[in-house]
């Protein structure tokens, strides 16, 4: 498994739903050069879809330029050898189809990303809690701890 390829696929895959999951499964099986050879049955099992759907998505990925078959299977029981294509900045290929790139409305453009929700501001005073019964203790006053059955100062 190549962390850099997996990370790139998770952040930049143009596919959605099961197709994206198939892309992630292929990246999970890939080495640092992007080469992987999982069977279509194994891909289908890990992605939770049919083998026929894997065939369709793999064909689409090859057509889009994100995947290439470098060695065909030699019959039943053997798998194709694939190479995942990813940017040159990660040491890979940079010849992916630009028309398939997913556009993220949160990045770029003239609008900033959605602001995060306003967080609750905690008060500046410190609140002491009894380490045994977890009840709030008032400052400079002894606390009658119910867990220890004694007065804690």
pLDDT, tens digit (0-9, with 9 covering 90-100), for 87-138: 555 555 544 444 444 444 444 445 555 555 555 555 555 567 787 787 887 7
Which of the 8 DSSP states describes residue 123?
P
Domains delineated in the chain:
3-96 (1.10.10.10), 126-153 (no CATH)
Report residue 20: phi and psi, to 5°: -65, -40
Alpha-carbon distance of 66 to 12, in angstroms, equals 11
Prediction pTM value:
0.57
pLDDT, tens digit (0-9, with 9 covering 90-100), for 137-151: 777 788 788 777 777
């Amino acid at each position: 498994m190549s962390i850099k390829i997996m990370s790139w696929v998770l952040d930049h895959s143009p596919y959605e739903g099961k197709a994206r999951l198939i892309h992630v499964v292929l990246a999970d099986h890939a080495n640092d050069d992007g080469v992987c050879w999982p069977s279509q049955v194994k891909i289908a099992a890990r992605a939770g879809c049919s083998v026929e759907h894997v065939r369709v998505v793999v064909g689409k990925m090859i057509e889009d330029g994100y995947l290439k078959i470098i060695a065909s299977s030699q019959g039943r029981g053997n798998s194709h050898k694939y190479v995942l294509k990813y940017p040159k900045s990660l040491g890979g290929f940079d010849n992916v189809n630009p028309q398939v790139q997913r556009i993220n409305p949160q990045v770029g453009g003239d609008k900033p990303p959605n602001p995060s929700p306003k967080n609750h501001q905690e008060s500046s005073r410190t609140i002491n809690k009894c380490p045994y019964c977890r009840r709030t203790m008032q400052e400079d006053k002894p606390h009658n701890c119910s867990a220890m059955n004694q007065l804690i100062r």
